[in-house]
Structure 1
Protein backbone atom coordinates (compact mmCIF):
# COMPACT_ATOMS: atom_id res chain seq x y z
CA UNK A 1 0.00 0.00 0.00
CA UNK A 2 1.29 3.48 -0.90
CA UNK A 3 1.66 5.92 1.99
CA UNK A 4 1.94 9.67 2.36
CA UNK A 5 4.91 11.53 3.86
CA UNK A 6 3.05 11.41 7.20
CA UNK A 7 2.83 7.62 7.09
CA UNK A 8 -0.88 7.36 6.32
CA UNK A 9 -2.41 5.72 3.27
CA UNK A 10 -2.54 7.75 0.06
CA UNK A 11 -5.93 9.43 -0.23
CA UNK A 12 -7.96 8.37 -3.24
CA UNK A 13 -11.38 7.22 -4.37
CA UNK A 14 -11.86 3.47 -4.72
CA UNK A 15 -13.73 1.79 -7.58
CA UNK A 16 -16.36 -0.57 -6.23
CA UNK A 17 -19.33 -1.67 -8.24
CA UNK A 18 -22.41 -3.05 -6.49
CA UNK A 19 -24.74 -5.61 -8.05
CA UNK A 20 -27.40 -4.09 -10.29
CA UNK A 21 -30.54 -6.17 -9.87
CA UNK A 22 -32.53 -4.30 -12.51
CA UNK A 23 -31.65 -1.61 -15.08
CA UNK A 24 -34.29 0.44 -16.92
CA UNK A 25 -34.07 3.28 -19.42
CA UNK A 26 -36.75 5.75 -18.34
CA UNK A 27 -36.09 8.20 -21.17
CA UNK A 28 -33.81 7.87 -24.20
CA UNK A 29 -32.62 11.38 -25.03
CA UNK A 30 -30.86 12.89 -28.01
CA UNK A 31 -27.55 12.94 -26.11
CA UNK A 32 -28.20 11.62 -22.58
CA UNK A 33 -30.49 8.92 -21.17
CA UNK A 34 -32.34 8.97 -17.87
CA UNK A 35 -31.93 5.52 -16.34
CA UNK A 36 -33.05 3.71 -13.19
CA UNK A 37 -31.05 1.03 -11.40
CA UNK A 38 -32.09 -1.21 -8.56
CA UNK A 39 -28.83 -1.66 -6.64
CA UNK A 40 -28.11 -4.31 -4.01
CA UNK A 41 -26.43 -2.78 -0.94
CA UNK A 42 -25.43 -4.45 2.32
CA UNK A 43 -28.73 -3.62 4.02
CA UNK A 44 -31.06 -4.17 1.07
CA UNK A 45 -31.95 -2.99 -2.42
CA UNK A 46 -32.24 0.70 -3.31
CA UNK A 47 -33.48 2.45 -6.45
CA UNK A 48 -31.32 5.15 -8.02
CA UNK A 49 -32.11 7.34 -11.03
CA UNK A 50 -29.34 9.12 -12.89
CA UNK A 51 -28.29 10.54 -16.23
CA UNK A 52 -26.23 8.12 -18.33
CA UNK A 53 -23.52 10.21 -19.94
CA UNK A 54 -20.87 9.37 -22.57
CA UNK A 55 -18.18 11.35 -20.72
CA UNK A 56 -16.36 14.53 -21.66
CA UNK A 57 -12.98 16.19 -22.08
CA UNK A 58 -11.88 19.73 -21.23
CA UNK A 59 -8.75 21.68 -22.15
CA UNK A 60 -6.73 24.19 -20.16
CA UNK A 61 -5.05 25.98 -23.07
CA UNK A 62 -2.19 28.10 -21.70
CA UNK A 63 -0.24 30.50 -23.89
CA UNK A 64 3.36 31.66 -23.41
CA UNK A 65 2.19 34.40 -20.99
CA UNK A 66 0.38 31.86 -18.76
CA UNK A 67 -3.02 33.08 -19.92
CA UNK A 68 -5.84 30.57 -20.04
CA UNK A 69 -8.42 30.59 -22.80
CA UNK A 70 -12.04 30.82 -21.62
CA UNK A 71 -15.13 30.74 -23.81
CA UNK A 72 -18.39 32.42 -22.82
CA UNK A 73 -21.32 30.14 -23.62
CA UNK A 74 -25.02 30.21 -22.74
CA UNK A 75 -26.12 27.26 -20.58
CA UNK A 76 -29.88 27.04 -20.53
CA UNK A 77 -30.43 24.75 -17.48
CA UNK A 78 -28.77 27.34 -15.19
CA UNK A 79 -29.91 30.39 -17.23
CA UNK A 80 -26.38 31.82 -17.29
CA UNK A 81 -23.64 32.67 -19.75
CA UNK A 82 -20.69 30.82 -18.24
CA UNK A 83 -16.98 31.23 -18.88
CA UNK A 84 -15.80 27.73 -19.72
CA UNK A 85 -12.78 25.82 -20.92
CA UNK A 86 -12.91 24.41 -24.44
CA UNK A 87 -14.68 21.12 -23.84
CA UNK A 88 -16.98 18.55 -25.35
CA UNK A 89 -18.57 15.13 -25.25
CA UNK A 90 -16.85 11.85 -25.97
CA UNK A 91 -19.36 11.24 -28.74
CA UNK A 92 -17.07 9.71 -31.36
CA UNK A 93 -16.90 5.91 -30.90
CA UNK A 94 -13.50 4.58 -29.75
CA UNK A 95 -11.88 8.04 -29.98
CA UNK A 96 -8.78 8.47 -27.80
CA UNK A 97 -9.24 10.99 -25.01
CA UNK A 98 -6.40 13.27 -26.10
CA UNK A 99 -7.64 13.11 -29.70
CA UNK A 100 -11.09 14.16 -28.48
CA UNK A 101 -9.52 17.03 -26.53
CA UNK A 102 -7.56 18.19 -29.58
CA UNK A 103 -10.71 18.01 -31.70
CA UNK A 104 -12.68 20.12 -29.22
CA UNK A 105 -9.89 22.70 -28.97
CA UNK A 106 -9.84 23.01 -32.76
CA UNK A 107 -13.62 23.09 -33.16
CA UNK A 108 -14.38 25.54 -30.36
CA UNK A 109 -11.29 27.77 -30.36
CA UNK A 110 -9.59 27.35 -33.77
CA UNK A 111 -6.43 26.29 -31.94
CA UNK A 112 -4.02 23.37 -32.06
CA UNK A 113 -1.34 22.45 -29.52
CA UNK A 114 2.06 20.83 -29.92
CA UNK A 115 2.26 19.56 -26.31
CA UNK A 116 -0.38 17.78 -24.24
CA UNK A 117 -0.56 16.48 -20.67
CA UNK A 118 -3.27 15.01 -18.48
CA UNK A 119 -3.99 17.55 -15.75
CA UNK A 120 -6.74 15.90 -13.67
CA UNK A 121 -10.18 14.32 -13.90
CA UNK A 122 -13.43 14.53 -11.98
CA UNK A 123 -17.00 13.25 -11.76
CA UNK A 124 -19.22 16.24 -12.46
CA UNK A 125 -22.16 15.32 -10.21
CA UNK A 126 -21.76 11.73 -8.97
CA UNK A 127 -25.14 11.60 -7.26
CA UNK A 128 -26.95 12.53 -10.47
CA UNK A 129 -24.86 11.36 -13.44
CA UNK A 130 -22.05 8.95 -14.32
CA UNK A 131 -20.26 11.66 -16.31
CA UNK A 132 -16.46 11.57 -16.05
CA UNK A 133 -14.51 14.60 -17.28
CA UNK A 134 -10.80 14.37 -18.09
CA UNK A 135 -8.98 17.71 -18.12
CA UNK A 136 -5.91 18.21 -20.30
CA UNK A 137 -3.23 20.90 -20.34
CA UNK A 138 -2.35 22.12 -23.84
CA UNK A 139 0.65 24.33 -24.63
CA UNK A 140 2.67 25.55 -27.64
CA UNK A 141 -0.53 26.78 -29.23
CA UNK A 142 -1.04 27.85 -32.82
CA UNK A 143 -4.01 28.75 -35.00
CA UNK A 144 -5.82 26.16 -37.07
CA UNK A 145 -5.44 27.12 -40.77
CA UNK A 146 -8.46 29.03 -42.02
CA UNK A 147 -9.38 26.36 -44.57
CA UNK A 148 -9.62 23.68 -41.89
CA UNK A 149 -11.69 25.54 -39.30
CA UNK A 150 -14.92 24.11 -37.95
CA UNK A 151 -18.23 25.85 -38.71
CA UNK A 152 -19.81 26.45 -35.29
CA UNK A 153 -23.61 26.31 -34.90
CA UNK A 154 -26.32 26.79 -32.23
CA UNK A 155 -24.92 27.94 -28.85
CA UNK A 156 -21.34 27.45 -30.06
CA UNK A 157 -21.84 30.02 -32.82
CA UNK A 158 -22.10 32.81 -30.26
CA UNK A 159 -19.19 31.82 -28.02
CA UNK A 160 -16.94 34.70 -26.98
CA UNK A 161 -13.23 33.90 -26.44
CA UNK A 162 -11.17 35.63 -23.77
CA UNK A 163 -7.56 35.12 -22.70
CA UNK A 164 -7.25 35.52 -18.93
CA UNK A 165 -4.07 35.47 -16.81
CA UNK A 166 -4.14 32.22 -14.84
CA UNK A 167 -3.81 34.08 -11.54
CA UNK A 168 -6.84 36.25 -12.41
CA UNK A 169 -8.83 33.14 -13.27
CA UNK A 170 -7.93 31.63 -9.90
CA UNK A 171 -9.15 34.77 -8.13
CA UNK A 172 -12.41 34.63 -10.09
CA UNK A 173 -12.93 30.99 -9.10
CA UNK A 174 -12.20 31.65 -5.43
CA UNK A 175 -14.48 34.68 -5.53
CA UNK A 176 -17.36 32.59 -6.86
CA UNK A 177 -17.49 34.48 -10.16
CA UNK A 178 -16.63 31.42 -12.29
CA UNK A 179 -18.91 28.45 -11.66
CA UNK A 180 -18.58 26.04 -14.56
CA UNK A 181 -17.20 22.85 -12.96
CA UNK A 182 -14.62 22.21 -15.67
CA UNK A 183 -13.38 25.79 -15.34
CA UNK A 184 -13.20 25.61 -11.54
CA UNK A 185 -11.40 22.27 -11.51
CA UNK A 186 -9.15 23.00 -14.48
CA UNK A 187 -8.05 26.47 -13.37
CA UNK A 188 -7.27 25.40 -9.79
CA UNK A 189 -5.51 22.23 -10.96
CA UNK A 190 -3.38 24.19 -13.42
CA UNK A 191 -2.41 26.72 -10.75
CA UNK A 192 -1.53 23.96 -8.29
CA UNK A 193 0.51 22.09 -10.92
CA UNK A 194 2.36 25.28 -11.86
CA UNK A 195 3.19 25.91 -8.19
CA UNK A 196 4.82 22.46 -8.15
CA UNK A 197 6.87 23.18 -11.24
CA UNK A 198 4.51 21.08 -13.37
CA UNK A 199 5.96 17.95 -11.72
CA UNK A 200 2.49 16.44 -11.18
CA UNK A 201 1.54 16.33 -14.86
CA UNK A 202 0.86 12.95 -16.40
CA UNK A 203 1.20 11.70 -19.93
CA UNK A 204 -1.78 12.57 -22.11
CA UNK A 205 -4.28 9.74 -21.53
CA UNK A 206 -5.40 8.04 -24.70
CA UNK A 207 -8.24 5.86 -23.37
Structure 2
Protein backbone atom coordinates (compact mmCIF):
# COMPACT_ATOMS: atom_id res chain seq x y z
CA UNK A 1 0.00 0.00 0.00
CA UNK A 2 1.03 3.56 -0.39
CA UNK A 3 1.84 6.03 2.37
CA UNK A 4 -1.33 8.02 1.64
CA UNK A 5 -3.70 5.07 1.98
CA UNK A 6 -3.70 2.04 4.23
CA UNK A 7 -6.16 -0.70 5.03
CA UNK A 8 -6.86 -0.88 8.75
CA UNK A 9 -9.41 -3.68 8.60
CA UNK A 10 -11.18 -6.12 6.33
CA UNK A 11 -14.40 -8.00 6.92
CA UNK A 12 -15.92 -10.75 4.80
CA UNK A 13 -19.44 -9.75 3.76
CA UNK A 14 -20.28 -12.61 1.40
CA UNK A 15 -18.60 -15.80 0.18
CA UNK A 16 -19.99 -17.34 -3.00
CA UNK A 17 -18.98 -20.07 -5.40
CA UNK A 18 -16.72 -17.83 -7.51
CA UNK A 19 -16.03 -14.73 -5.46
CA UNK A 20 -15.71 -13.23 -1.99
CA UNK A 21 -16.98 -9.76 -1.15
CA UNK A 22 -15.23 -7.75 1.56
CA UNK A 23 -15.65 -4.38 3.20
CA UNK A 24 -12.22 -2.80 3.59
CA UNK A 25 -11.80 -0.12 6.25
CA UNK A 26 -9.35 2.45 4.92
CA UNK A 27 -7.39 5.24 6.57
CA UNK A 28 -5.82 8.16 4.72
CA UNK A 29 -2.77 10.28 5.51
CA UNK A 30 -5.01 13.28 6.22
CA UNK A 31 -6.78 11.29 8.98
CA UNK A 32 -9.97 10.59 7.08
CA UNK A 33 -11.53 7.12 6.94
CA UNK A 34 -13.69 5.32 4.38
CA UNK A 35 -15.10 1.89 3.67
CA UNK A 36 -14.29 0.45 0.25
CA UNK A 37 -15.79 -2.59 -1.43
CA UNK A 38 -13.33 -5.26 -2.46
CA UNK A 39 -14.12 -8.40 -4.46
CA UNK A 40 -11.70 -11.32 -4.53
CA UNK A 41 -11.69 -13.75 -7.47
CA UNK A 42 -9.21 -16.63 -7.76
CA UNK A 43 -8.56 -15.85 -11.43
CA UNK A 44 -9.41 -17.24 -14.83
CA UNK A 45 -7.99 -18.03 -18.22
CA UNK A 46 -9.31 -17.62 -21.73
CA UNK A 47 -8.28 -18.69 -25.20
CA UNK A 48 -8.47 -17.43 -28.78
CA UNK A 49 -8.92 -20.67 -30.77
CA UNK A 50 -7.69 -20.16 -34.34
CA UNK A 51 -8.74 -22.61 -37.06
CA UNK A 52 -6.36 -23.40 -39.95
CA UNK A 53 -8.34 -21.05 -42.23
CA UNK A 54 -7.84 -18.18 -39.74
CA UNK A 55 -11.38 -18.10 -38.39
CA UNK A 56 -11.78 -17.91 -34.62
CA UNK A 57 -14.04 -20.19 -32.60
CA UNK A 58 -16.44 -18.28 -30.37
CA UNK A 59 -18.96 -19.45 -27.80
CA UNK A 60 -22.44 -18.11 -27.24
CA UNK A 61 -23.90 -18.63 -23.79
CA UNK A 62 -26.48 -17.16 -21.46
CA UNK A 63 -25.11 -14.67 -18.92
CA UNK A 64 -27.37 -14.13 -15.93
CA UNK A 65 -25.97 -10.68 -15.04
CA UNK A 66 -27.00 -9.36 -18.47
CA UNK A 67 -30.10 -11.56 -18.83
CA UNK A 68 -29.12 -12.54 -22.37
CA UNK A 69 -26.72 -14.56 -24.48
CA UNK A 70 -23.28 -13.16 -25.20
CA UNK A 71 -20.63 -14.03 -27.77
CA UNK A 72 -17.24 -14.64 -26.14
CA UNK A 73 -13.95 -16.43 -26.45
CA UNK A 74 -13.86 -19.66 -24.39
CA UNK A 75 -12.90 -18.96 -20.77
CA UNK A 76 -13.24 -20.26 -17.28
CA UNK A 77 -12.26 -19.95 -13.65
CA UNK A 78 -9.05 -21.48 -12.37
CA UNK A 79 -9.73 -24.73 -10.50
CA UNK A 80 -7.49 -23.47 -7.70
CA UNK A 81 -5.71 -20.12 -7.18
CA UNK A 82 -2.27 -21.51 -8.10
CA UNK A 83 -3.41 -23.39 -11.23
CA UNK A 84 -1.34 -22.31 -14.26
CA UNK A 85 -3.42 -20.21 -16.65
CA UNK A 86 -2.20 -22.21 -19.61
CA UNK A 87 -3.58 -25.42 -18.10
CA UNK A 88 -6.93 -23.77 -17.42
CA UNK A 89 -7.10 -22.29 -20.94
CA UNK A 90 -6.47 -25.69 -22.51
CA UNK A 91 -9.14 -27.31 -20.35
CA UNK A 92 -11.71 -24.61 -21.13
CA UNK A 93 -10.93 -24.84 -24.85
CA UNK A 94 -11.81 -28.53 -24.88
CA UNK A 95 -14.75 -28.29 -22.47
CA UNK A 96 -16.47 -25.44 -24.29
CA UNK A 97 -15.57 -25.98 -27.96
CA UNK A 98 -14.82 -29.68 -28.30
CA UNK A 99 -11.30 -28.94 -29.60
CA UNK A 100 -7.90 -29.29 -27.99
CA UNK A 101 -4.55 -27.80 -28.92
CA UNK A 102 -0.92 -28.73 -28.46
CA UNK A 103 0.02 -25.12 -29.18
CA UNK A 104 -1.08 -22.57 -26.56
CA UNK A 105 0.81 -19.30 -26.60
CA UNK A 106 0.35 -16.49 -24.06
CA UNK A 107 -1.21 -13.38 -25.61
CA UNK A 108 -2.08 -10.92 -22.81
CA UNK A 109 -3.03 -10.74 -19.16
CA UNK A 110 -5.79 -8.41 -18.09
CA UNK A 111 -7.40 -7.22 -14.89
CA UNK A 112 -11.14 -6.94 -15.34
CA UNK A 113 -12.18 -4.23 -12.86
CA UNK A 114 -9.22 -2.69 -11.04
CA UNK A 115 -11.27 -0.25 -8.96
CA UNK A 116 -12.78 -2.96 -6.74
CA UNK A 117 -11.86 -6.47 -7.93
CA UNK A 118 -8.58 -8.41 -8.16
CA UNK A 119 -9.67 -10.82 -10.93
CA UNK A 120 -6.86 -11.63 -13.35
CA UNK A 121 -7.42 -13.36 -16.70
CA UNK A 122 -4.55 -14.82 -18.69
CA UNK A 123 -5.38 -15.10 -22.38
CA UNK A 124 -3.75 -17.54 -24.80
CA UNK A 125 -3.88 -18.23 -28.52
CA UNK A 126 -4.55 -21.83 -29.54
CA UNK A 127 -3.48 -23.19 -32.91
CA UNK A 128 -3.20 -26.73 -34.30
CA UNK A 129 -6.72 -27.47 -33.11
CA UNK A 130 -7.70 -31.12 -33.03
CA UNK A 131 -11.25 -32.40 -32.65
CA UNK A 132 -12.02 -33.73 -29.18
CA UNK A 133 -15.34 -33.78 -27.37
CA UNK A 134 -17.19 -30.93 -25.75
CA UNK A 135 -17.53 -31.49 -21.98
CA UNK A 136 -19.88 -28.87 -20.62
CA UNK A 137 -20.75 -28.44 -16.95
CA UNK A 138 -24.29 -29.46 -15.95
CA UNK A 139 -25.40 -25.83 -15.92
CA UNK A 140 -23.64 -24.82 -19.14
CA UNK A 141 -25.28 -24.50 -22.55
CA UNK A 142 -22.81 -23.31 -25.16
CA UNK A 143 -23.12 -22.86 -28.92
CA UNK A 144 -19.86 -22.79 -30.89
CA UNK A 145 -19.37 -20.98 -34.20
CA UNK A 146 -16.37 -19.75 -36.20
CA UNK A 147 -15.96 -16.14 -37.34
CA UNK A 148 -13.43 -14.18 -39.36
CA UNK A 149 -11.48 -11.43 -37.63
CA UNK A 150 -13.37 -8.88 -39.75
CA UNK A 151 -16.75 -10.25 -38.64
CA UNK A 152 -15.63 -10.10 -35.01
CA UNK A 153 -14.36 -6.53 -35.35
CA UNK A 154 -17.68 -5.48 -36.90
CA UNK A 155 -19.49 -7.00 -33.92
CA UNK A 156 -17.12 -5.29 -31.47
CA UNK A 157 -17.45 -1.84 -33.04
CA UNK A 158 -21.16 -2.37 -33.70
CA UNK A 159 -21.83 -3.07 -30.03
CA UNK A 160 -22.80 -6.74 -30.38
CA UNK A 161 -19.72 -8.01 -28.53
CA UNK A 162 -19.39 -6.20 -25.19
CA UNK A 163 -17.37 -8.68 -23.13
CA UNK A 164 -14.12 -6.97 -22.15
CA UNK A 165 -11.86 -10.06 -22.22
CA UNK A 166 -13.16 -10.94 -25.68
CA UNK A 167 -12.69 -7.43 -27.05
CA UNK A 168 -9.17 -7.17 -25.62
CA UNK A 169 -8.23 -10.65 -26.85
CA UNK A 170 -9.52 -10.22 -30.40
CA UNK A 171 -7.90 -6.81 -30.87
CA UNK A 172 -4.62 -7.97 -29.28
CA UNK A 173 -4.61 -11.08 -31.48
CA UNK A 174 -5.13 -8.98 -34.60
CA UNK A 175 -2.47 -6.47 -33.56
CA UNK A 176 0.13 -9.11 -32.67
CA UNK A 177 -0.42 -11.67 -35.41
CA UNK A 178 -2.25 -10.10 -38.33
CA UNK A 179 -0.91 -6.53 -38.53
CA UNK A 180 2.62 -7.88 -39.03
CA UNK A 181 1.77 -9.33 -42.42
What is the TM-score with the length of structure 1 in the denominator?
0.79
**Within 5 Å, which residues of 2 pair with 1:66-81?**
66-81=54-69
Q: Distance in 1 between matches of 2:63 and 2:43?
A: 18
Residue 6 of structure 2 is aligned to residue 36 of structure 1: no
Q: Distance in 2 between matches of 1:151 and 1:47?
A: 39
Report the equivalent of 1:7: none
Residue 137 of structure 2 is aligned to residue 152 of structure 1: yes
Report the equivalent of 1:187: 170
Residue 149 of structure 2 is aligned to residue 166 of structure 1: yes
Label 1:16 to 1:138 Cα distance change in 2 as closer, same or farther (>3 A). farther
Report the equivalent of 2:161: 178
Q: How far off is 1:55 after superposition?
A: 0.9
Structure with bigger strand share is 2
Residue 35 of structure 2 is aligned to residue 47 of structure 1: yes
SS of 2:65's equivalent in the other structure is helix
Q: Deviations over 1:56-87 (max 9, x none)?
A: 11100111111111111100111120001110
Report the equivalent of 2:47: 59
Quote the RMSD (CA, aligned, Å): 2.1
Question: In 1, are the aligned partners of 2:96 and 2:136 still within 8 Å (CA)?
Answer: no
Q: Distance in 1 between matches of 2:53 and 2:166?
A: 19
Q: Distance in 1 between matches of 2:57 and 2:108?
A: 17
Q: Distance in 1 between matches of 2:105 and 2:33?
A: 41
Report the equivalent of 1:22: 9
Question: In 1, are the aligned partners of 2:47 and 2:125 still within 8 Å (CA)?
Answer: yes
Question: In 1, are the aligned partners of 2:42 and 2:80 still within 8 Å (CA)?
Answer: no
What is the TM-score with the length of structure 2 in the denominator?
0.89
Q: How far off is 1:39 after superposition?
A: 2.9
Report the equivalent of 1:197: 180
Q: Distance in 1 between matches of 2:160 and 2:18?
A: 29
Label 1:186 to 1:22 Cα distance change in 2 as closer, same or farther (>3 A). same
Unpaired stretches in structure 2, ≥5 consecutive residues: none
Q: Distance in 2 between matches of 1:151 and 1:104?
A: 9
User: Which residue, 122, 133, 153 being the options, matches 2:121?
Assistant: 133
Count of paired positions: 179
Q: Distance in 1 between matches of 2:147 and 2:15?
A: 39
Q: Distance in 2 between matches of 1:119 and 1:102?
A: 14
The runs of at least 4 consecutive aligned structure 1 residues that moved more than 6 Å come to: none
Q: How far off is 1:142 after superposition?
A: 0.5
